[in-house]
Chains A and B, each alone.
Chain A
Amino acid sequence: MITLIKRPTPSRFWSFTTPVLAVIATMIAGGVLFSILGKDPVQAIKVIFWDPLLGPNAAYFRGQLLVKAGPLILIAAGLAVGFRAGIWNIGAEGQYIMGALAGASVALAAYPAESHWLFPAMVVAGALGGWIWGMIPAVLKVLFGTSEILVSLMLVYVAQNFLAWAAFGPLKNPEGYGFPGSRNLQQYPSAHNPELFAGTGMHWGVVAALIAVIATYVLMQRHIAGFRIRVAGEAPRAARFAGVLPANLVMFCLGLSGALAGLAGMFEVSGPSGQITDSFNAGYGFTAIIVAFLGRLNAIGILLAGLLMALTYIGGDMAQLMLGLPTAAIQVFQGMLLFFLLGFDLLTHYRLRLGKGSK
């Protein structure tokens, strides 16, 4: 029988090793899954992890890597701050949508005027849109003690309906021959979030993601506010003794993660996606939760985890295309990653002891 023994202090060694172990275990279990589906497992793993970076068409995919990783990292960086404090924003997807809608609305209202101020205004609007959507669960929690988990999650569906309504209604392209969807912002120079260096996939959203990583790292490791957030997650009573007001903490964390998710949506709609459609959101807000945990709620970890997750996205698409793997199999594969991470995570806090249990 295996017994678990709590470690007196969490193991540093394992907290760095578990993500690597989780990736390896995912490769093995994924390989088994793919071979059951009748595919060559080695080939499938190679297509997912290797080809996007170093395969024959890698030049194109490498750009995609940053395009996909950017929003994941930007959202996850904000979520991790709240998760550290024990505040569970599960609705980043909704905040992402609202940020995109707010940013696009500003652009479309100004169309076709050209101004240097338009893009900065869209950035502010995007952040604000996400912030407001994040503040709804925050205020409800503070005033009525509702669960931010449920409220933020439910607001995703509200946001999705908003999105559909806007795409078919007020934001619909008047010159779009009746097709749903807004004007394409890629063709509106003042509002366009372009690729900054050709072929890299680097756009302003990726820049923002890097800034967010550095800023949240400094906040959590070097600033008293981040210290208090960590204390609140570890020992709520000690946090109150240290002067943390729970209400402020809830509003700060949900507001911050909402604003960052809103920014991610804004950069996406003005850049890689270009337009508001009813299927604009692609699940970044949910995947970012995985990214946050895969990165150990640590800014640098999130940077790496975001890149890894983006890789499995791109590799997954390629595997679908080239090997005919079903979408569901790819999603199971991505789910395995979180599953193994949380499973191996036990090792940081517990020691395993093999031995006979009594009886």
Chain B
Amino acid sequence: MTGSLLKIEGLTKAYPGVVANDGVGFEVAPGEVHALLGENGAGKSTLVKMIYGLVKPDAGRMTFQGRPYTPAEPRAARAAGVAMVFQHFSLFEALNVAENVALGMENPPPMGDLAERIRAISTAYGLPLDPARTVGDLSAGERQRVEIIRCLLQDPKLLIMDEPTSVLTPQEVEILFHTLRKLAAEGTAILYISHKLEEIRSLCDGATILRGGKVVASCIPREKSARELAELMVGGEFAATDRAGRVSGATILEVDHLNLPPMTQFGPALKNVSFSLAAGEVLGIGGVAGNGQEELLATLSGERPSGAGTVSLHGQDISDLGPNDRRRLGLLAAPEERLGHAAVPNLSLTENAILTGTVRRPLTRNGFLNMGAARRFAEEIIKGFDVRTPGPHVAARALSGGNLQKFVIGREVLQSPEVLVVNQPTWGVDAAAAAAIRQSLLDLAAKGAAVIVISQDLDELMEIADRFCALNEGRLSEPRPTEGLTMEEIGLMLGGAHGMQEAAL
């Protein structure tokens, strides 16, 4: 690799109360796959947003292809040859793939030509995608392909990907990596952010490690173990989860022949879902997101009432109780979508603690808010779950993705639930914090609570769950003990749909 494509020196960006990037410098060569590593809130997203012209640096210099580079907005960055795929997709569900791609272009060619080019690129890079399909019908991985193809149409020199794999199945990850390697071989540099260290070890040529906004190390990921990488990120050692000392007790939660129509036009229906859950037990529900995971959480949390007799807690039918009545009985939930569902972006962390905390915590007196108590509760969550933020007065949307996730999980765990349902609990959370979250779920179970973990991450489920089942197209397989479960059996449970079977094998 000769010369550098992108060179960054002394890049600094401060937000109120935090310096998100502090004198950051590194180089990316053409054709290099370069990883940005760091804990939640280390400043990775802020850094790439500056490169993509979304955030203006306070100080520092960038050089791109040997020329000074100061993108005022994403359009300027794109014109210079920088493209970015965001973690959250900006696609219109009701439009088809080609229309969505056209909407993102400054001068879209005629639809026919565009569809042709999409087809050409998608075959050239091994990203199967039909331009005529409606986006609402696509899986998360396919949606991401739309975003990637949208980038590739601009023939970028540098492609930035911020946590691209957290929503993908293992098989989709393989396809993505294949494409990225091909792109790199053709000379496109890739700046890659992920918390999945094994992926980084297999994909990336170099890595820059950020901590507290500063570059603390750079290394060649292949030459380090995942554990070493994680320790470079936190600057110390971190503990593995400990699942010792759990005995399951009596049945707490029972779901019986639960059927539900789809919530949205493109959503799946729940079909005949039945399972039961004992005290002290962790039930892992695997499967690709979008197969009824959100729907299942909504019916358990009480956001969507279900038919009489379908959900019961301690033998009491709670199917028609709302979220707060269920909280009172000890059934708590943490949805996967952090902004706008689990938390309100524009409200402070104190107010977000009030959002679900009033039933089990004395945050109100005769309906009047006790702001002091709410602030103390928020501070307790921040402290207990190591949420990196200047304080509880900060708006939820100013937190980094992983830190808000820690806050959301912490808020529910600290309310001592009897049953806790979490969906993608470590989505976007760094390795050390993910271990801490998993440990807190295990501790909860050790204290006698029942925990349901809905996750796409099979390793995570194998690590903490006592029993495992899979949710596929709204159907739930029979739960089986995780101990002694082979990958082959898991693959069969996942039902073969979406190619999960091969992937799991």
Residues of chain A at the chain B interface (Cβ within 8 Å): 3, 8-10, 222-225, 227, 230-231, 234-235, 237-238, 240-243, 245, 355-358
Complex alpha-carbon distance, A230 and B346, angstroms: 10
- Report if A237-B322 is in contact (Cβ < 8 Å); known contacts: A3-B73, A223-B369, A224-B358: no
CB pair B322–A10 under 8 Å, yes or no, is no
Chain B proximity of A97: nearest CB distance (Å): 33
CB neighbours (8 Å) of B340 from chain A are: 235, 237-238
Question: Which residues of B are found within 8 Å of A227, using beta-carbon distances?
Answer: 351, 354, 369
Contact B369 A358 (CB under 8 A): no
Q: In the complex, which of the residues B335, B351, B358 contacts A241, with contact meaning CB atoms closer than 8 Å?
A: B335
Which of the residues B73, B335, B368 comes within 8 Å of A223, measured between beta carbons?
Answer: B368
Question: Once the chains are docked, how many angstroms separate the CA of A8 from the CA of B49?
Answer: 14
- Quick check: B341 and A8 within 8 Å, CB to CB? no
A-B residue pairs, 5 tightest by C-beta:
A243-B324, A243-B323, A237-B341, A235-B344, A235-B340
| Chain A proximity of B487: nearest CB distance (Å) | 35
Q: How far is the CA of A242 from the CA of B343 in the complex (A)?
A: 10
The answer to whether A241 touches B303 (Cβ under 8 A) is: yes
Q: A223-B369, A241-B335 are in contact. List 9 more A-B contacts (CB 8 A).
A: A8-B395, A9-B395, A9-B398, A10-B346, A234-B347, A238-B343, A241-B323, A242-B355, A243-B327
Cα A225 to Cα B366 in complex, Å, equals 11
A227 to chain B minimum Cβ distance, whole angstroms, is: 6
Q: Does B105 contact A (CB under 8 A)?
A: no
For chain B residues 277-301, which have a beta carbon within 8 Å of chain A?
A: 301
Chain A residue numbers with a CB within 8 Å of B112 are none
Which residues in window 341-391 of B have CB below 8 A to A?
A: 341-347, 351, 354-356, 358, 364, 367-369
Find the A residue at minimum CB distance from B297.
A241
From the candidates B302, B343, B367, name the one contacting A225 in the complex (CB within 8 A).
Answer: B367
Residues from chain A with a CB closer than 8 A to the CB of B14 are: none
- A222 and B345 in contact, given A8-B397, A237-B340, A358-B79 (Cβ under 8 angstroms): no
Tell me which residues across on chain A come within 8 A of B347, comparing CB atoms.
230-231, 234
B345 contacts A245, C-beta separation under 8 Å: no
- Pair B75/A238 contact, Cβ less than 8 Å: no
The reply to whether A222 and B368 contact each other, CB–CB distance below 8 Å, is yes
Question: A243's closest neighbor in chain B, by CB?
Answer: B324
11 intermolecular pairs with C-beta atoms under 8 Å apart: A3-B73, A222-B369, A230-B347, A231-B355, A237-B340, A238-B344, A241-B303, A241-B323, A242-B356, A358-B72, A358-B76
- Chain B contacts with A in 437-458, Cβ cutoff 8 A: none
**Chain A residues with CB under 8 A of B337:** 237
Which residues of the other chain, B, contact A237 by a CB distance below 8 angstroms? Answer: 337, 340-341
Establish whether residues A231 and B367, one from each chain, have CB atoms under 8 Å apart when the complex forms: no
Decide: A231 and B344 in contact? CB cutoff 8 A.
Answer: yes
**Contact (A235, B345) CB under 8 Å given A223-B368, A227-B351, A241-B303:** yes
A293 CA / B347 CA spacing, docked (Å): 20
Shortest CB–CB separation between residue A357 and chain B, in angstroms?
8
B356 & A241 in contact (Cβ 8 Å cutoff): yes
Of chain A, the residue at the smallest CB distance from B395 is A9
Would you call the interface of chain B mostly helix, strand, loop, or mixed? Answer: mixed
Contacts of A225 in B (CB 8 A): 367
Q: Please give me the residue from chain A that is nearest to B370 by CB atom.
A: A222
* Residue in A closest to B359 when the chains form the complex, CB atoms: A243
Complex Cα–Cα for A257 and B397 (A):
32
Q: Which residue of A has the minimal Cβ distance to B302?
A: A243
Q: Is the CB of A355 within 8 A of B323?
A: no
Q: Which residues of the partner chain A approach B364 to less than 8 Å between Cβ atoms?
A: 224
Q: Is the CB of A238 within 8 A of B355?
A: yes
8 A Cβ contacts from B292-343 to A: 301-303, 322-324, 327, 333, 335, 337, 340-343
Task: State A8–B344 Cα separation when bound (angstroms).
Answer: 14
Total residues of chain B contacting the partner, CB 8 A: 36
Please, which residues of chain A bring their CB within 8 A of the CB of B367? 223-225
* A214 CB to nearest B CB, Å: 14
Q: Evaluate contact between B303 and A240: CB separation under 8 angstroms.
A: yes
Q: How far is the CA of A240 from the CA of B326 in the complex (A)?
A: 13
Q: Report how far A224 CA is from B333 CA in the complex, Å.
A: 20
Partner of B369, one of A8, A224, A238, A356: A224
Interface residues in B137-162 (C-beta closer than 8 Å to A): none
Distance in angstroms between the alpha carbons of A357 and B106 in the assembled complex: 14
In whole angstroms, how far apart are the Cα atoms of A231 and B302 in the complex? 18
Instruction: Provide the bound-state CA to CA distance between A9 and B16, in Å.
Output: 10
Q: What is the bound-complex CA distance between A103 and B398, given in angstroms? A: 51
**Distance of B239 from chain A, by nearest CB (Å):** 32
Shortest Cβ distance from A239 into B: residue: B344
A9-B395, A9-B398, A223-B368 given as contacts; is B344 within 8 A of A358 (CB)?
no
Q: CB distance B397 to A235 under 8 Å?
A: no
Query: Closest CB-CB distance, A10 to chain B, in whole Å?
Result: 7
Closest beta carbon of chain A to B263's beta carbon, Å = 11
B345 touches A241 (CB 8 A): no
Return A114 CB to nearest CB of chain B, in Å.
40
| Contact status B346-A241, CB under 8 Å | no
**B303 contacts which chain A residues (CB < 8 A)?**
240-241
Q: Considering the chains assembled together, what is the distance between the CA atoms of A356 and B76 in angstroms?
A: 11
Our pick among A8, A222, A238, A356 for the contact of B342 (Cβ within 8 Å) is A238
**Contact residues in A for B355 (Cβ distance below 8 Å):** 231, 238, 241-242
Chain B positions 95-110 with a Cβ under 8 Å from a chain A Cβ: none
- Knowing A223-B368, A224-B368, the reply to whether A8 touches B15 (Cβ < 8 A) is yes
B218 CB, nearest partner CB in chain A, Å: 29
Q: Which residue of A lies closest to B356 (CB)?
A: A242
| CA gap between A6 and B347 in the complex, in Å | 16
CB neighbours of B341 from chain A (8 A): 235, 237-238, 241
Which of B72, B79, B327 gathers most chain A CB within 10 Å? B72
Q: Which residues of B contact A230 (CB under 8 A)?
A: 347
| Chain B window 451-491, contacts with chain A (Cβ cutoff 8 Å), 1 for yes, 0 for no | 00000000000000000000000000000000000000000
Which residue in chain A gives the minimum CB-CB distance to B54?
A: A5
Please, how many angstroms separate the alpha-carbon atoms of A245 and B324 in the complex? 11
Contacts of B302 in A (CB 8 A): 243
Question: Across the interface, which residues of B come within 8 angstroms of A243, CB to CB?
Answer: 302, 322-324, 327
Distance of A227 Cα from B340 Cα, bound (Å): 15
Closest beta carbon of chain B to A64's beta carbon, Å: 38
Question: What is the CB-to-nearest-CB distance from A244 to chain B, in angstroms, rounded to a whole number?
Answer: 9
User: Chain A's nearest CB lies how many Å from the CB of B300?
Assistant: 12
> Contacting A358 at CB < 8 Å: which of B73, B342, B397?
B73
The distance from the CB of B78 to the nearest CB of chain A, in whole angstroms, is 10
Which residues from chain A contact B79 at a C-beta distance below 8 Å? 358
Complexed CA–CA distance, A237 and B304 (Å): 11
Per the bound structure, the CA–CA distance linking A245 and B321 in Å amounts to: 12
A-side contacts of B324, CB under 8 Å: 242-243
